[in-house]
Amino acid sequence: MAQLLVAVAVVVVAVIVGLVLRSRQAVPAPTQPSHAVPAQLDRADFDAPTPWVVVVFSSATCASCADVARKADVLRSAEVSVVHAEFPTARDLHRKYDIQAVPIVAIADEHGVVRAGFAGPVTATDLWAAVAEARQPGTSPEPDLGR
């Protein structure tokens, strides 16, 4: 009988120790894709001879990307270049700027500082207003668009 009690006590202690150790073990969160707009662009990476550049990171298989690209194309002017960085053609740019989801739009100044941007689909009004506000602060009724 004493041997049985000792065996039960050992099993109970082993189970308790196992539960305590298991509860202390941190379980890493699942990896989530980043939907972040880059904060800085290297202007040398983009054929953009104008003071401002709108970079549309997209994918050839993304329907909403094509819509965003069309909206961005309207912004092309003597002051604004529009560059399409489409995956997989621009795979190196996607990797360099850690683009994990598309569409992503970055609006950058002559130094490559991203002044505004959007992750995901964007309306033409919001995109155009964000570019106007980045170029001339105070011109948009919603100055925080794209920030």
pLDDT in tens, 13-48: 888 888 887 777 776 666 665 678 999 999 999 998
Question: Given this model, what pLDDT does residue 145 score?
Answer: 61
What CATH number does the domain containing 69 carry? 3.40.30.10
List pLDDT tens digits, range 60-80.
Answer: 999 999 999 999 999 999 999
Bin 120: left if φ > 0, else alpha if -120 < ψ < 50, else beta. left
Identify whether 13 is part of a domain. Answer: no
| Number of domains the chain is built from | 1
* 147 in any annotated domain: no
65 belongs to a structural domain: yes
pTM for the full predicted model = 0.75
Query: What is the pLDDT at residue 29?
Result: 67
* Cα dihedral 113, 71, 74, 45 in deg (nearest 10): 40
Spatial distance between the Cα atoms of 110 and 55, rounded to a whole number of angstroms = 13
Asked if the structure places residue 49 within a domain, the reply is yes
| 111 assigned to some structural domain | yes
Structural domain of residue 125, as residue ranges? 43-135
